[in-house]
Amino acid sequence: MTQKLKAKSYQLNIGWLYPELMSTYGDKGNIMTLQKRCEWRGIEVKIINIDQRSKIPDLKTIDLLFAGGAQDREQSIVIQNLKKHETEIRKLIEKEVPALFVCGAPQLFGKYYEPSIGKRLDGLGIFDIETIHAGPQKKRLTGNVIAKIINKNILNTKYPILHSGIIVGFENHGGRTYLGKYAKPFAMVIKGYGNNGEDGTEGVVYKNAIGSYLHGPLLPKNPGIADWLITKAITTKYKQKVTLAPLDNAVSNQAKSVIARRLGIKL
Amino acid sequence: MLNYPLIISGKAISKFAKVLNLGNGSTWPGHIALNLNKKFIKQFLKKSKTKIVIIAGTNGKTTTASLITNALRHNNGKVIQNESGANLLNGIASTLIMHSSATGGLDADYAIFEIDENNLPLVLKEVTPDALLLLNLFRDQLDRYGEINTIGEKWKKSISFLSKKTTLILNSDDPLIAYMGKDTKNKKLYFGLHDSNHKNNHPQDDATDSSYCPNCNGKLIYKNKIFSHLGDWKCRKCKFKRPNPDVDFFENYPLPGTYNKYNTHAAIALLKHLKMKTAIIKQSIKDFKPAFGRQENIKYKNKNIQIYLSKNPTSFNQSLNTILDLDAKNLLIILNDRIPDGRDISWIWDTEMNRISKFKNIFVAGDRAYDMALRLKYEMGITDYQTRVKVIDNLKNGIEKAISYLEDDQILFMLPTYSGMLDARKILTGRRIL
């Protein structure tokens, strides 16, 4: 049974991985959306930056994890450092702490990333995915995207906003990501390229961790995903089911409709 | 002469396009000439005595070019420029055609070319400028230009092939730009900003693009940060550091905003390189009128409107801080995502808006108005958003509505993206520029 606790009693620590190095495509917008949607409901939030200076105790307190996109040079700096935090991050994901990794981030959390020039970068292997950069001559996969969430773990939460499961975003990636045997896709593209421009899949999900190529940023125009992450964070932390108070999503719906209309999709 | 027919027909095409009002007719002749002869620009310039200045960088190209052109004309120089928006090879070819004399030479003492970031390496293969002025590299239109480090690497490579006759005019405060001068034998002049003159009122500025050393990837440390990644920097690892600027101060700036101090210093460094007398430089800057859309004042229905082109996080933040320092109360933001604006508008979330609630009325228009509205809502909170922000579907109605809120002496400050600026100007002046 759903139990309503006084929202005030909830407190979440949102961990932002490498905010300086991995903040290329308005990623601050994803953090702001999580933070404000908690605060507007009286849920206390602390944003904890996880970077080169962080220690293991910082990571242990994280209730929701986020990482954004990085430029190639920054990505190679991050990957060297990320290995230090590998065990703790893996522990968080395994105990069902929700996470969102967008743009370049999923590449780091997959099995490996093969850049167009230079050595193959081994990722943390949390997602069973492989990413290969097709080389500077191959075209980047760029443009507005509209997709439908197909991942049952996310859809079954029965969030009104997620009902149609339609999400919008913008993609811009040279890398092509392929799902392995154990990987479950996050969504299927209706318009756009998605993981590789071939099989129609977009993103990947493992436990409560979502990887996605969509920025835009993703959460402001798709607040249902933000609410799903917040719900999962509370459920995991307080071992309690929770129903978040509804918020007015009119502006995000209108922003979403502009893209849907342009791509000829009815919401 | 091989190119002669191309020039004659090019001039005719340009006239034809203008008469029929075919819009951007200014790049057609160049486009055709280059299609018929790839080496057109190189061959054309071989015999020319015109001094060529190339300006590149993310922000400030047009203002800096205008400052330079204005000063050179002040000094009775004959100056030609590529037209706004015509900043690819075909734009240069067109400019050459339009200003060629009957003998095939160029009818000008100076040619000032603004060049798009991506096209600079292509242009430097065809043109050997007297001076190459590099302003800055900020994050801008990642979908079109790509990452700034990638652009930086391409620039560095093409500069290594540059003739030693070209003087480099470089921003000492932008690590990636200063890096362009490293290990080159070319003559170099640096411009920057003197720290003690600058008070940083806005310490929390910007998403950082380039706080890592372009030479060794080490972390940069700043003795003083002006905005974004500009400042007095040094690499802890390889000791690469900000070169001493040759120009870092001026007494009377023609336009408000810290970024315009950089543009002014850049122009002065270049004019000094051209051996212009200090008194003439000063006088010309005093008489300067801004280029369209760059802090331009327009009177519309007896109301005052000022336009501040704001096309990426840095230029948006700088515009916002500049107008707030002028005590602005009424703001109209126009957000478009057409090709000249960049299709990806995620950059709006990288802007700093912590002073946004100082505005009384905020109007939002453009193709992606609701995205900007959403950005404002998350910044301001629900109540503040509802009382101050109005989303307008149609730009003309938006402008009318916004000016109806102005009290007598108030100014409507407009922060548009590039195509938004062109649309707004057309409404305000009744004319098209391009």
Q: In degrees, to the nearest 5, what angle opens at C-alpha B428 toward C-alphas B424 and B430?
A: 105
Tokens of B275: 């051996």
Is B378–A23 a contact, with Cβ atoms under 8 angstroms apart? no
- Predicted confidence band at B173 (pLDDT cuts at 50, 70, 90)? very high
pLDDT(B207) > 70: no
Taking the C-alpha atoms of residue B34 and residue B92, their distance in angstroms, rounded to an integer, is 10
- How confident is the model at residue B265, as a pLDDT? 97
Taking the C-alpha atoms of residue B357 and residue B345, their distance in angstroms, rounded to an integer, is 22
Classify residue A131 by its DSSP letter: E
B212 vs A contacts (CB less than 8 Å): 73-74, 77
Taking the C-alpha atoms of residue B282 and residue B265, their distance in angstroms, rounded to an integer, is 12
Average pLDDT of B322-329?
93
- How confident is the model at residue A70, as a pLDDT? 77
Q: Regarding the domain with residue range B294-429, which homologous superfamily does it belong to in the CATH classification?
A: Mur ligase, C-terminal domain (3.90.190.20)
Give the residue from A73, A74, A144 with the most B CB atoms within 10 Å of its CB, the best one to mutate: A73
Average pLDDT of A34-39?
97
CB distance A256 to A17 below 8 Å: no
* B143, B149, B370 member nearest A251 (Cβ): B370
Of A66-70, A72-76, B70-74, give the range with the top mean pLDDT.
B70-74
- Tell me: the pLDDT tens digits for B388-410? 999 998 999 999 999 999 988 89
- Predicted confidence band at B18 (pLDDT cuts at 50, 70, 90)? low
pLDDT(B65) > 70: yes
The chain-wide mean pLDDT, for chain A, equals: 89
The chain-wide mean pLDDT, for chain B, equals: 87
Is A255–B374 a contact, with Cβ atoms under 8 angstroms apart? yes
- How confident is the model at residue B22, as a pLDDT? 47
- How confident is the model at residue B187, as a pLDDT? 97
Give the residue from B219, B371, B394 with the most A CB atoms within 10 Å of its CB, the best one to mutate: B371
pTM here is: 0.81
Average pLDDT of A9-28?
90
**Would an 8 Å CB–CB cutoff place A23 in contact with chain B?**
yes
CA-based diameter of chain B, in Å?
71
Q: Where in chain A are the domains? A: 7-262
**Would an 8 Å CB–CB cutoff place A252 in contact with chain B?**
yes
- Predicted confidence band at B23 (pLDDT cuts at 50, 70, 90)? very low
**Would an 8 Å CB–CB cutoff place A20 in contact with chain B?**
yes
CATH class, range B4-286: alpha beta
pLDDT(B208) > 80: no
Taking the C-alpha atoms of residue B295 and residue B85, their distance in angstroms, rounded to an integer, is 18
Residues contacting B134, CB < 8 A, separation 6+: B56, B57, B155, B168, B169, B170, B171, B177, B180
The better pLDDT of the pair B199, A156 is held by A156
pLDDT(B31) > 90: no
Average pLDDT of B215-239?
90
Which part of chain B has CATH 3.40.1190.10? 4-286
- Tell me: the pLDDT tens digits for B141-150? 666 666 788 8
- How confident is the model at residue B145, as a pLDDT? 62
A133 catalytic, yes or no?
A: no
Closest-CA residue to B171 (of B342, B55, B45): B55
Closest-CA residue to A145 (of A167, A177, A173, A178): A167
The better pLDDT of the pair B91, A37 is held by A37
Taking the C-alpha atoms of residue A66 and residue A219, their distance in angstroms, rounded to an integer, is 11
Which part of chain B has CATH 3.90.190.20? 294-429
A173 catalytic, yes or no?
A: no
Sheet with A11-17, edge to edge strand ranges: A44-50, A11-17, A64-67, A99-102, A209-212, A204-206
Is B378–A24 a contact, with Cβ atoms under 8 angstroms apart? no
- How confident is the model at residue B141, as a pLDDT? 67
At the topology level, CATH places domain A7-262 in: Rossmann fold (3.40.50)
Is A36–B381 a contact, with Cβ atoms under 8 angstroms apart? yes
pLDDT(A56) > 90: no
- Tell me: the pLDDT tens digits for B111-140? 999 998 989 999 999 999 999 999 999 877
